[in-house]
Amino acid sequence: MSLTPKHTKTILKIKNKLRFKAKAELCPNGKPATTWFLKQENYKKFSIYRAILLAGKRHQIRFHASLKLGSLIGDYFYNSNYKTPLDQVCLIADTLAFWWQGQRYKIKLPNAKNILLDIANKAQLK
């Protein structure tokens, strides 16, 4: 789940190698990365989205959100207008699902929404 100011299936090609210390960028010969953002609810002046990744690239959610929705709360790297007390980015994985040794595992964080809302409540406009 992520929280972003109010303001999509899109395939974007991202050039972003692990040794880079810069932002992800659109690149015609980068690797395809798709993120679906599903709006869950409105909260004050923000919206809560569920992000579903069809490929996992570093900064993928943050980059795609900044292009399509607006920067995540506290994400100074992608030009957020909001600062959080501990420089937290308002992005949290509430579910992690994967296959390992032929078996599917699913791990859920039951209080993810409360953690997001706590960060959002402390965020201040720069």
CA–CA distance, 14 with 37 (Å, rounded to integer): 17
CB count within 10 Å of CB 2 equals 25
* HSE-CB for 8 with a 13 A CA cutoff: 13
Mean pLDDT for the stretch of residues 74-85: 90
Assigned superfamily of 2-125: Pseudouridine synthase (3.30.2350.10)
Residue 83 CB partners (closer than 8 Å, separation 6+): 74, 76, 123, 124, 125, 126
CA–CA distance, 53 with 60 (Å, rounded to integer): 8
Output the pTM of the full model. Answer: 0.75
For the cut 70, the answer to whether the pLDDT of residue 28 exceeds it is: yes
Tens-digit pLDDT profile for residues 45-60: 889 999 988 877 778 8
Higher pLDDT, 122 or 24: 122
Question: What are the residue ranges spanned by the domains of the chain?
Answer: 2-125
